[in-house]
């Protein structure tokens, strides 16, 4: 049976797509391998949002092809996902024989069969497919392996916002949502397999179902979905990514707190703090409106974590525009901010705008802003020391496998002395110390049963 290596570049949506592809291939009898050097099939699922991601994937593929050539092997090499969608045919040359776009992940198994059996030499499949939003469904959960505590659930595909810098509407297509019952069934199935926390995924989740489910009692389709998922017994936490600020209407802000499983974390991609640049970006909000949302969220819950994405060096960004972004970061006191250097993307309106900044200018602003936002964020971590927080224990710490890690409701990693008995349980942890982006704590033994509601048979006996 073919041995398949899959590597993912990019966001959680890409990770989720790769997981569904891996599950599909395993169901067909393929084996997943962790090392590409002996694989029969090497698939790179690639991001297009910034040039750097594309260059990394292209570099990796040529390295893989070079090694295979030296070994005298001819594995099937393929690109999947956003870069495959935007570049299509131009990628399918030499040893790259498979190019599969964002609406065709579920066809990869049959395409690989055709290639491996020699029925086809190259396949490029980047067409649109009606209903493809419902094909990212299968999960890789090994019933014999350690319990899967968290899972990602794709609720929609595409984006209609057309921010002028962004390639996603071109690579992912127009907004298409899955029906609520289908999503709820998937969540229920995951919970039945041990999952306690789901992250609802889409390019613009706050626009979920706009055309399919009319506003009901002042509640948007997305809030209706949150309510339906919230009903799933045994589910403890709901996260979402990625929303758009324009989606934070009163109904969604009210849902924080009203729906106890919806965690106190709002990702609110800002992109710029300058109204002039926001208009050029076609973001659909002003600086004031944005700050108003942050204020209402924090009023709803004082500890609401607000995180963001920012682009520095958008065409025409002046020092004044940039200073507006810096000052907004101070006002909003972001719990975490991802700062990106503007990257020109093909066929986007921003790529054709005048006054593109030099790389050096972008680098310099990027470094300056990063220092500021990291200072603000690490202060917020330090504020947690001495508090008792609820965490969901996920598994061995990625940094230090001899310890365990979990996350707070507001999405901070907490490392603690733990073991497999803790996995999948809610614990109360006293925070002892903080580093820039990690908390360290001690579980409160008596607190375990207070927050533990699952009644599962493998509950830790910590008394």
Task: Give residues in contact with ligand F3S (CB under 6 A).
Answer: 159, 161-163, 166, 168-169, 203-204, 244
Query: β-pairing, 404-408 with 413-416?
Result: antiparallel
* Cα 23 from Cα 189, distance rounded (Å): 15
Hey, what are 9's tokens? 């570049």
Per the document, the length of the chain is: 463
* Cα 446 from Cα 460, distance rounded (Å): 12
First and final C-alpha spacing in the chain: 49
Q: Which is nearer to ligand F3S, 166 or 255 (CB)?
A: 166
Q: Which does 50 bind (CB under 5 to 8 A by kind): ligand SAH, ligand F3S, none?
A: ligand SAH
Hey, what are 234's tokens? 């045994």
Q: How far is the CB of 79 from ligand SAH (least distance, A)?
A: 19
Q: Which does 456 bind (CB under 5 to 8 A by kind): ligand SAH, ligand F3S, none?
A: none
Separation in Å, CA 313 to CA 218, 298, 309: 39, 29, 13
Q: Is the Cβ–Cβ distance between 425 and 460 less than 8 Å?
A: yes
* Cα 114 from Cα 60, distance rounded (Å): 25
* Cα 5 from Cα 24, distance rounded (Å): 13
Q: How far is the CB of 272 from ligand F3S (least distance, A)?
A: 12
Q: Which does 169 bind (CB under 5 to 8 A by kind): ligand SAH, ligand F3S, none?
A: ligand F3S
Q: Which is nearer to ligand F3S, 50 or 196 (CB)?
A: 50
Hey, what are 123's tokens? 């396949």
Q: Which does 11 bind (CB under 5 to 8 A by kind): ligand F3S, ligand SAH, none?
A: ligand SAH
Q: How far is the CB of 350 from ligand SAH (least distance, A)?
A: 7
Q: Is the Cβ–Cβ distance between 199 and 152 less than 8 Å?
A: yes
Positive or negative, the CA dihedral 378, 265, 362, 284 is negative
Q: Which is nearer to ligand F3S, 345 or 428 (CB)?
A: 345
* Cα 188 from Cα 263, distance rounded (Å): 18
Q: Which is nearer to ligand SAH, 194 or 269 (CB)?
A: 269
Which residue, among 392, 395, 393, has the nearest Cα to 145 in the 3D structure? Answer: 395
Q: How far is the CB of 22 from ligand SAH (least distance, A)?
A: 21
DSSP 8-state secondary structure symbol assigned to residue 187: H
Q: Which does 161 bind (CB under 5 to 8 A by kind): ligand F3S, ligand SAH, none?
A: ligand F3S
Q: Which is nearer to ligand SAH, 153 or 311 (CB)?
A: 311
Q: Which does 15 bind (CB under 5 to 8 A by kind): ligand SAH, ligand F3S, none?
A: none
Hey, what are 346's tokens? 């093909």
* Cα 236 from Cα 151, distance rounded (Å): 12
Q: Which does 235 bind (CB under 5 to 8 A by kind): ligand SAH, ligand F3S, none?
A: none
Q: Which is nearer to ligand SAH, 53 or 96 (CB)?
A: 53
* Cα 219 from Cα 223, distance rounded (Å): 6
Q: How far is the CB of 166 from ligand F3S (least distance, A)?
A: 3
Q: Which does 311 bind (CB under 5 to 8 A by kind): ligand F3S, ligand SAH, none?
A: ligand SAH
Q: How far is the CB of 89 from ligand SAH (least distance, A)?
A: 23
Positive or negative, the CA dihedral 381, 386, 390, 392 is positive
Query: Where does this chain bind ligand SAH (CB under 6 A)?
Result: 11, 13, 49-50, 165-166, 168, 203-204, 242, 269, 271, 309, 311, 340, 342-343, 345
Q: Which is nearer to ligand SAH, 202 or 424 (CB)?
A: 202
Q: How far is the CB of 40 from ligand SAH (least distance, A)?
A: 32
Q: Which does 342 bind (CB under 5 to 8 A by kind): ligand SAH, ligand F3S, none?
A: ligand SAH
Q: Which is nearer to ligand SAH, 260 or 284 (CB)?
A: 284
């Amino acid at each position: 049976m073919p041995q398949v290596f899959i590597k993912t570049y990019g966001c959680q949506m890409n990770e989720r797509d790769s997981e569904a592809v891996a599950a599909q291939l395993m169901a067909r009898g393929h084996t997943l391998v962790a090392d590409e050097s002996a694989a029969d099939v090497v698939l790179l699922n690639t991001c297009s949002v910034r040039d750097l991601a594309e260059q990394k994937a292209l570099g990796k593929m040529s390295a893989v092809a070079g090694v295979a050539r030296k070994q005298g092997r001819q594995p099937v090499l393929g690109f999947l996902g956003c870069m495959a969608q935007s570049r299509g045919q131009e990628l399918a040359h030499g040893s790259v024989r498979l190019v599969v776009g964002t609406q065709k992940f579920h066809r990869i198994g049959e395409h690989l069969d055709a290639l491996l059996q020699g029925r086809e030499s190259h396949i490029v499949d980047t067409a649109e497919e009606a209903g493809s939003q419902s094909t990212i469904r299968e999960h890789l959960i090994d019933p014999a392996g350690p319990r899967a505590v968290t899972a990602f659930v794709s609720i929609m595909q595409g984006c209609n916002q057309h921010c002028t810098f962004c390639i996603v509407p071109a690579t992912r297509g127009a907004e298409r949502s899955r029906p609520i019952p289908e999503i709820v069934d998937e969540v229920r199935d995951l919970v039945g397999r041990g999952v306690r926390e789901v992250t609802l995924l889409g390019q613009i989740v706050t626009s979920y179902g706009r055309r399919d489910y009319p506003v009901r009692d002042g509640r948007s389709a997305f809030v209706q979905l949150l309510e339906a998922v919230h009903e799933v017994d045994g589910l403890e936490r709901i996260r979402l990514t990625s929303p758009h600020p324009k989606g934070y209407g009163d109904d969604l802000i009210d849902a924080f707190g009203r729906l106890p499983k919806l965690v106190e974390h709002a990702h609110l991609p800002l992109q710029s703090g300058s109204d002039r640049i926001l208009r050029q970006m076609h973001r659909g909000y002003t600086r004031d409106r944005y700050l108003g949302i942050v204020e209402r969220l924090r009023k709803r819950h004082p500890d609401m974590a607000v995180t963001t994405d920012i682009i520095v060096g958008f065409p025409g960004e002046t020092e004044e525009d940039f200073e507006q972004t810096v000052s907004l970061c101070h006002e909003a006191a972001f719990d975490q901010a991802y700062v990106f250097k503007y990257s020109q993307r093909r066929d986007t309106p921003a790529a054709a705008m005048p006054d593109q900044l030099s790389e050096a200018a972008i680098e310099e602003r990027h470094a300056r802003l990063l220092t500021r936002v990291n200072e603000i964020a690490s202060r917020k971590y330090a504020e947690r020391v001495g508090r008792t927080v609820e965490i969901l224990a996920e598994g061995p710490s990625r940094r230090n496998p001899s310890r365990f890690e979990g996350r707070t409701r507001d999405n901070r990693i907490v490392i603690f002395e733990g073991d497999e008995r803790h996995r999948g349980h809610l614990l109360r942890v006293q925070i002892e110390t903080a580093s820039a982006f990690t908390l360290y704590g001690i579980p409160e033994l008596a607190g375990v049963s207070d927050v533990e509601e699952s009644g599962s048979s493998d509950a830790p006996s910590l008394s």
